[in-house]
Amino acid sequence: MEHIVYLDNNATTMVAPEVFEAMLPYFSERYGNPSSLHSFGGNVARDIEQARARVAHLIGAHPEEIVFTGCGTESDSTAIRSALDQLPDKRHIITSAVEHPAILGLCGYLQKRGYQVTYLQIDEIGQIDLDELRETITDNTAIVSIMHANNESGIVFPLHEIAEIVKEKGCLFHTDAVQSTGKLPLDMSQTPVDFLSMSGHKLHAPKGIGGLFVRRGTPYTPLLIGGHQESDKRAGTENVTAMIGFGKAAELAAADLPREGFKLQAMRDRLQDGLLTRCKDVLVNGAASPRLPNTLSVSFGYVEGESIVLLLDEQGICVSTGSACSSGSLDISHVVKCLGVPSTHAHGTIRFSLSRYTTDDEIDYALEHMERIIDRLRALSPFGRE
């Protein structure tokens, strides 16, 4: 395969070589079942506990507060459905309008089942109104679920403040931290979160492994019920190799935090500045808010996102678009819509997301081709001429 310039790390990431290495023995010689009584299986159980401790360390939690799940979506569903199951009299959920489909899809489903859902809107800089959040919480609210960082725009919500407001009101709080885990410092010993969702494949572990932080003492109902795995919090034979991989990936991320963030941010800013210099009619989304250091969402005027993505694809450059033409829907994404990107630019929204493996050369290569591609599509477009 030709060289791929992978700038779509919010979609998924490369498995780190160290992670791959760490997982290998569990595909072959260390195949024991961690639930077995014999030491061949028991040793695997011990290795899983080491992985759990590494994930816990990354977010400042206790190991017994980490439940391994199948993916970020499962973590989200587990947290919210657990809260609803534990608090059957409370029929109200609060979330934001810009959550990942893992949350929005579930909330839509729950609305059909008679739950009331409040979707907090974002303002012109992409933030929710904290006073509105405080006022919206009632005695009927079972759980508040607000993401930490947005997958499309990279905008970061003030997790600590949000958590404090929700806990002040005595309500359960969940955050989808799938995009921020390993990229931003998280400390569960300081931030009063009840549930926090993570996903391995966003931080160089393989797909098929997620994590859910459940604070000690939080009332909890498992989503999967059966055997005693995961201390009765998630039944089903463990995905041992992926757990080991997630543990290793968490260890690598923790070792580099926050230094890696500065490096990524410098690279991201160079990409952003380069695009603004080389192309006309470009808007940077979320620039007035704190953003993930690796994420850049830009909207190009008078051109359409799918065309940009496919022309970049021809050059081996991978990015994604928030103009959902290529994602099944015909409309722009809900996040681009909520951000209020003007209609001249909304359909030309592109997300670049970097990783620790992104190089300066790759940024230069992407800049060079972006300029050419935007020029080419603008020459084709009936709009945007003086």
Partner 1 sequence: MWDYNDKVKEHFLNPRNIGELPDANAIGHTGSLRCGDAMTLYMKVETIDSEERITDASFQTFGCASAIATASMLTEMIKGKTLAEAETLTNQDIVDALGGLPAPKIHCSVMGAEALEAAIANYRGEEPPGHDDEDRIICACFEVSEKTIRDAVWESNLTTVEQVTNHTKAGGACGQCKPDIARIIGEVLEEKAQALCDIEPESERDRKIGRLIAEVIAPQLTGHGGGLQLVAIDGDRVVVRLKGACQMCSNNQGTINDFVQQKLRDEIDEKITVEVGG
Q: Is 325 a catalytic residue?
A: yes
- CB distance 198 to 186 below 8 Å: no
Do strands 92-96 and 141-145 pair parallel, antiparallel, or not at all (unpaired)? parallel
Residue among 71, 279, 325, 338 flagged as catalytic? 325
Where does residue 95 fall: left (phi above 0), alpha (psi -120 to 50 degrees), or beta otherwise?
beta
- And the tokens for 46? 């011990």
Check binding of 347 to partner 1 (CB under 8 A).
yes
Check binding of 380 to partner 1 (CB under 8 A).
yes
In whole angstroms, how close is the CB of 379 to partner 1 at the nearest point?
7
Residue 317 β-bridge partners:
5
- Cα-Cα-Cα-Cα dihedral of 363, 364, 369, 372, to 10°? 130
Check binding of 371 to partner 1 (CB under 8 A).
no
Check binding of 121 to partner 1 (CB under 8 A).
no
Check binding of 254 to partner 1 (CB under 8 A).
no
Nearest to 333 by CA among 354, 341, 312, 160: 341
Check binding of 383 to partner 1 (CB under 8 A).
yes
Q: Which part of the chain contacts partner 1 (CB under 8 A), choosing from 99-107, 115-123, 125-133, 310-318?
A: 310-318
Check binding of 304 to partner 1 (CB under 8 A).
yes
Residue number with CB closer to partner 1 (69 or 299): 299
Check binding of 98 to partner 1 (CB under 8 A).
no
- CB distance 84 to 140 below 8 Å: no
Check binding of 375 to partner 1 (CB under 8 A).
no
Among 303, 366, 370, 374, interactor with partner 1 by CB under 8 A:
303
Angle between helices 101-112 and 72-86 (to 10 degrees): 40
Angle between helices 259-278 and 360-380 (to 10 degrees): 30
Residue 352 β-bridge partners:
296
In whole angstroms, how close is the CB of 29 to partner 1 at the nearest point?
42
- And the tokens for 84? 């609803």
Check binding of 315 to partner 1 (CB under 8 A).
no
DSSP structure class, residue 136 = H
- # residues contacting partner 1 (CB under 8 A): 26
In whole angstroms, how close is the CB of 104 to partner 1 at the nearest point?
14
Q: Which part of the chain contacts partner 1 (CB under 8 A), choosing from 22-30, 82-90, 324-332, 353-361?
A: 324-332
- And the tokens for 16? 């780190």
Check binding of 344 to partner 1 (CB under 8 A).
yes
Among 132, 161, 273, 313, interactor with partner 1 by CB under 8 A:
313
Among 310, 357, 359, 360, interactor with partner 1 by CB under 8 A:
310
Check binding of 114 to partner 1 (CB under 8 A).
no
**Burial track 345-362 (b if 16+ CB lie within 10 A, e otherwise):** bbbbbbbbbbbbebeeeb
Nearest to 212 by CA among 361, 344, 61: 61
What is the amino acid identity at position 334? Answer: H
Residue number with CB closer to partner 1 (183 or 378): 378
Check binding of 307 to partner 1 (CB under 8 A).
yes
Q: Which ranges constitute the DSSP H helices of 145-258? A: 159-168, 240-256
Among 161, 331, 364, 368, interactor with partner 1 by CB under 8 A:
331
Catalytically active residues are 325
The residue ranges that bind partner 1 (CB under 8 A) are 302-307, 310-311, 313-314, 323, 325-326, 328-332, 343-344, 347, 379-383
